[in-house]
Chains A and B, each alone.
Chain A
Amino acid sequence: MTLSPTEWEAIRLSLLIGLAAVAWILPPGIAVAWWLARFEFRGKALVDGLIHLPLVLPPVVVGYLLLVALGRQGMVGAWLYRVFGVSLPFTWQGAAVASGVMAFPLLVRALRLSLEAVDPKLEAAARTLGASRWRVFATITLPLAVPGLVTGTMLAFARALSEFGATITFASNIPGETRTLPLALYTLIQTPGRESAAARLCVLSIVIALLSLIASEWLARRTRQRLQERDAY
């Protein structure tokens, strides 16, 4: 089966938005996961709850809140437009923001578990060898948490690929800009007489999902193996 230009367009946008979403949430995701894994502070449960909110809220609510905050009239959005001339709603960047927010808790969860499993005694040993906190993190903590980083990134990417509710609410459903696979499929279902096209997209979604699952399993197994070789005796 050969793909039509609109189908290619949807795949391209899905991958672009998925990758962009993962790229922007990685730095804050790593920082937050480390913060939660290594420090005790008042209100930790509240911070934890807020981070997990997108997992339990209806995605439409998240999209609406993003619109309120980042829309051109929104508090942050108005500032972004005034200072940088940037407007996020109705753009693919906006879609990346929306799917990133939805994927954020999955990344933080997996990474935090992995960071908590890193022995603080190794970090203390590194400090006595003259390594600053930052160097300890970059050379000891994060490398030992790579399995969690891989799992979290793959989960977040899969979540961003399939994001629908928050994206359509915040970034709308614009062909060639924010119409990813799920949105294209939704559009076809709404259009009478396009059932076969919808079925094609449906199959395509299944194929892409399966491929990314297999890739993620393979990657996870590989990193686990490499770390086990190191620990093996």
Chain B
Amino acid sequence: MPTDPSTHSSPSLRVDIDQRLGNFHLQVSLALPGQGVTGIFGTSGSGKTSLMRVIAGLETPDRGHVQLGERTLLDTRQRLVVPAHKRRIGVVFQEARLFPHYRVRGNLTYGMPDHAASRFDEIVALLGIAHLLERLPGTLSGGESRRVAIGRALLSDPRLLLMDEPLTGLDGARKQELLHFIARLARQVDIPIIYVSHDPDEIATIADHLVLMRSGRMEASAPLSHLLQRFDLTQALAGFDAASILEGHVISHDAHYQLTRVALGDGLELLLPGTQTTLGSTLRLRIHARDIAIALAPATGTSYRNQLPAHIEAIEMPAETPHTVELRLRLGAHRLRARLTRLAFDQLGLAEGQRITALIRSVAFTSLQ
């Protein structure tokens, strides 16, 4: 399970907003970790973009307080509003919003302070846009434009990077490529990122911390892997298909069977389809609740290559699907959701606290990063 950033660094962004826009009421109180990627998830109209605009300083709420680290950016009670251009918050918008009359190089350096000039080559290389520098934005493809927009925001040397649905309008393959790129980037740059999206796959791939927005309010805010375990949020997180997120380290590759072995800590290991990863690197995995089977004891003669000792931490009987039971399993420091039929649950006689063996087929894992 990913480490919880809020446990070893003080919350770095604090936001309190109360704003009415016609019928819409945005009322949010948040404290976000000062590192890693925070996903803001919600349907369109849930207030994600408004929240982002307030943080960036593009909109001033009726009442509100925004603090980044030690610096107060907004305090309506003291009539303090730091203008957008002095906040040092980089924004990557839905559309790339490149300046059409500047070449790519001009766009990249537009907000670059002198002390960041030394990072130009590094960031250009990181984004793979060196061959585009002399082009005009009108001649770039959608994916290229987004990468330039990300580079432009990074080179403005921001204290915080906001990304508002930066993959909107890209096709599947381009989207995956850029998504993985952003995930890698998040590990390489030392800037907290807020990633706004309504796409569960994007959030599952990229977020460490998750904020759930619903009709202008914050419904939950917690590390992603914890939030996905909460039975009470099953409805709101329907798009995540009751999946669990695990993170582990790659310890070996089996060239013959094309499998990769991942350590989860506490002596727990997983075997999954081979990945192109370097040994020791962190791998984020997603596993759906329906892909986990339960045995009362370690089983022999099955095709399940992953048999992990676990105990049942919680049991939920969803009213809307009377034939299923949801379990929350504890494996070492990790938690996993499992979904069984009520028949199997009753016949096995499962109860909270019981020790069991979790069976997971290797092919059920999706590696996200």
Please encode chain B, from 89 to 125, with 1 for each CB lying within 8 Å of some chain A CB and 0 for all others: 1110101010111000000001101000000000000
Q: Is B20 an interface residue (CB 8 A)?
A: no
Contacting residues, chain A, for B136 (C-beta < 8 A): 229-230
Q: Is A129 an interface residue (CB 8 A)?
A: yes
Q: What is the CA–CA distance of A231 and B89 in the complex, to the nearest angstrom? A: 28
Q: What is the CA–CA distance of A132 and B113 in the complex, to the nearest angstrom? A: 14
A128 and B100 form a contact (CB under 8 A): no
B89 and A230 form a contact (CB under 8 A): no
Q: Is A233 an interface residue (CB 8 A)?
A: yes
A130 and B156 form a contact (CB under 8 A): yes
Interface residues of A in 149-202 (CB under 8 A from B): none
Q: What is the CA–CA distance of A55 and B58 in the complex, to the nearest angstrom? A: 38
A132 and B85 form a contact (CB under 8 A): yes
A130 and B139 form a contact (CB under 8 A): no
In the complex, how many angstroms separate the beta carbon of B89 from the nearest chain A beta carbon?
A: 7
In the complex, how many angstroms separate the beta carbon of B25 from the nearest chain A beta carbon?
A: 24
Q: What is the CA–CA distance of A128 and B153 in the complex, to the nearest angstrom? A: 8
A140 and B85 form a contact (CB under 8 A): no
Q: Is B28 an interface residue (CB 8 A)?
A: no
Partner of B100 from the list A130, A131, A231 (CB cut-off 8 Å) is: A231
In the complex, how many angstroms separate the beta carbon of B182 from the nearest chain A beta carbon?
A: 18
Contacting residues, chain A, for B88 (C-beta < 8 A): 130
Q: Is A215 an interface residue (CB 8 A)?
A: no
Q: What is the CA–CA distance of A144 and B88 in the complex, to the nearest angstrom? A: 25
Given A230-B136, A232-B138, A232-B139: A128 in contact with B89 (beta carbons within 8 A): yes
Q: What is the CA–CA distance of A126 and B87 in the complex, to the nearest angstrom? A: 13
Q: Is A143 an interface residue (CB 8 A)?
A: yes
Tally A residues with Cβ within 8 Å of B.
Answer: 22
Most buried by A among B99, B136, B137, B153: B99
A125 and B93 form a contact (CB under 8 A): yes
Please encode chain A, from 95 to 136, with 1 for each CB lying within 8 Å of some chain B CB and 0 for all others: 000000000000000000000000001101111111111000
Q: Is B270 an interface residue (CB 8 A)?
A: no
A128 and B91 form a contact (CB under 8 A): yes
Q: What is the CA–CA distance of A123 and B328 in the complex, to the nearest angstrom? A: 49
Q: Is B152 an interface residue (CB 8 A)?
A: yes
A125 and B97 form a contact (CB under 8 A): yes
Residue of B nearest to A132 (CB): B85
Contacting residues, chain A, for B86 (C-beta < 8 A): 130
Residue of B nearest to A228 (CB): B138
A128 and B84 form a contact (CB under 8 A): yes
B95 and A130 form a contact (CB under 8 A): no
B138 and A130 form a contact (CB under 8 A): no
Q: What is the CA–CA distance of A143 and B102 in the complex, to the nearest angstrom? A: 10
B97 and A122 form a contact (CB under 8 A): yes
A231 and B85 form a contact (CB under 8 A): no
Most buried by B among A124, A132, A231, A232: A124
Q: Is B56 an interface residue (CB 8 A)?
A: yes
Q: What is the CA–CA distance of A75 and B139 in the complex, to the nearest angstrom? A: 57
Contacting residues, chain B, for A128 (C-beta < 8 A): 56-58, 84-85, 87, 89-91, 111, 153, 156
A127 and B58 form a contact (CB under 8 A): yes
Given A127-B58, A128-B58, A233-B138: A121 in contact with B110 (beta carbons within 8 A): no
Please encode chain B, from 176 to 204, with 1 for each CB lying within 8 Å of some chain A CB and 0 for all others: 00000000000000000000000000000
Residues of B within 8 A of A (CB): 56-58, 83-91, 93, 95, 97, 99-101, 110-111, 113, 136-140, 152-153, 156
27 inter-chain pairs at a CB distance below 8 angstroms, sorted by A residue, are A122-B97, A122-B100, A125-B91, A125-B93, A125-B97, A126-B99, A126-B111, A127-B85, A128-B57, A128-B89, A128-B156, A129-B110, A129-B153, A130-B85, A130-B113, A131-B111, A132-B85, A144-B100, A227-B101, A229-B136, A229-B138, A230-B100, A230-B101, A230-B137, A232-B138, A233-B138, A233-B139
Given contacts A127-B83, A127-B85, A129-B110, 15 further A-B contacts (CB under 8 A): A124-B97, A126-B111, A128-B84, A128-B111, A130-B113, A131-B110, A144-B100, A229-B136, A229-B138, A230-B100, A230-B137, A232-B138, A232-B139, A233-B138, A233-B139
